[in-house]
């Protein structure tokens, strides 16, 4: 099967490109190279990239309502002011874990319709990770336990459904969400995947309720219905796409990041791509400070 015609958005190679976030106010895409701890930004119309280096690996981040970023570094959640470089620790959901060899670190995260930052952790070998809901008061509430690699966070357009995956355990779940309180209920397993299907990594939702998942082990983007029916499975240029994100002035540009494995000979690996789609995506929310 041939790959789709996707455009290269950024030629800057990332070891582990992740967490693309569309900033509608500034018309730019932001993303991170996790192990480097570097957040990149590039405008919709191209031009030079901007970047900021942080002192730890960065698993994910989100926009805030005061022009800062809420950032999940390996050990904790921070508020970062790009204009000044000021970095303030908000909370360490799993204190001390990152300092120990082969223990948990924070991973995929996204701001929800409740204005909180939802962020999960991961462990190399054991299901000791969790999904957390972090508020501006510095409160971290554990929502889901016994995870291996928390990933794939995305919210429906009406804010009443939460999608979530575990990359290592290879499943995708749907939860009912109270967009005011952040309460979740009615957990439903909508997909169990094999490596050749595409292990579920980062994700995004569109206005028709479809869930777009990066199939990191199979070089494809998988599009599911809310009930888990596989509607599309699209091969993409990089071997390991990591997360899609809707953006652009009409929210019909699907950006996606990728990673580069040491043995890869594919020059597309680690780059950021974009492609046009027919259905607009769900805009990202902002962390309420």
Residue 282 lies in a domain: no
139 is in an annotated binding site: no
Dihedral of alpha carbons 180, 186, 187, 190, sign: negative
pLDDT at 99: 55
266 is in an annotated binding site: no
Residue 33 lies in a domain: yes
Residue 82 lies in a domain: yes
Q: Residue 121 in contact with residue 108, Cβ under 8 Å?
A: no
Give the active site residues.
Answer: 201
Q: Which domain holds residue 156?
A: 7-276
- Whichever domain contains 257, its CATH number is 2.120.10.30
Q: How many domains does the chain have?
A: 1
What does the alpha-carbon distance between residue 3 and residue 239 come to, in Å, rounded to a whole number? 11
What does the alpha-carbon distance between residue 195 and residue 198 come to, in Å, rounded to a whole number? 5
Classify 195 as helix, strand or coil. Answer: helix
Q: Residue 239 in contact with residue 219, Cβ under 8 Å?
A: yes
105 is in an annotated binding site: yes
pLDDT at 1: 44
194 CB burial (10 A radius; 0-12, 13-18, 19+): exposed
24 is in an annotated binding site: no
pLDDT at 2: 47
pLDDT at 179: 96
pLDDT by 10-residue block (mean), the chain, 289 residues: 76 97 97 98 90 96 97 94 97 76 84 98 90 97 96 98 98 98 98 97 98 97 98 96 97 97 92 96 96
Residue 285 lies in a domain: no
151 is in an annotated binding site: yes
125 is in an annotated binding site: yes
pLDDT at 272: 98
């Amino acid at each position: 099967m041939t790959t789709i015609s996707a455009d290269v958005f950024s030629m800057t190679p990332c070891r582990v490109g992740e967490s693309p976030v569309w900033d509608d106010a500034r018309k730019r895409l932001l993303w991170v190279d996790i192990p480097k701890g570097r957040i990149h930004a590039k405008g919709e119309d191209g031009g030079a990239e901007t970047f900021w280096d942080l002192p730890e690996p960065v698993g994910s981040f989100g926009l805030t309502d005061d022009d800062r970023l809420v950032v999940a570094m390996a050990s904790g959640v921070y508020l970062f002011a790009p204009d000044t470089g000021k970095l303030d620790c908000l909370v360490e959901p799993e204190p001390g874990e990152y300092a120990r060899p082969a223990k948990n670190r924070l991973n995929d995260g996204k701001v929800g319709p409740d204005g909180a930052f939802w962020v999960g952790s991961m462990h190399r070998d054991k299901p000791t990770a969790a999904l957390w809901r972090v508020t501006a008061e510095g409160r971290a509430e554990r929502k889901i336990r016994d995870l291996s690699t928390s990933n794939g966070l995305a919210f429906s357009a009406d804010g009443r459904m939460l999608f979530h995956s575990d990359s290592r355990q290879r499943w995708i779940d749907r939860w009912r969400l109270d967009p005011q309180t952040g309460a979740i209920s009615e957990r439903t397993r909508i997909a169990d995947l094999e490596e050749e299907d595409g292990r579920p990594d980062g994700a995004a939702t569109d206005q028709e309720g479809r869930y777009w998942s990066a199939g990191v082990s199979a070089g494809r983007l998988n599009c599911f219905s809310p009930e888990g029916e596989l509607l599309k499975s699209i091969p993409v240029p990089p071997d390991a796409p990591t997360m899609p994100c809707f953006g652009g002035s009409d929210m019909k540009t699907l950006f996606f990041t990728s990673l580069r494995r040491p043995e890869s000979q594919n020059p597309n690996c680690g780059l950021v791509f974009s492609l046009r789609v027919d259905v607009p995506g769900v805009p990202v929310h902002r962390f309420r400070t």
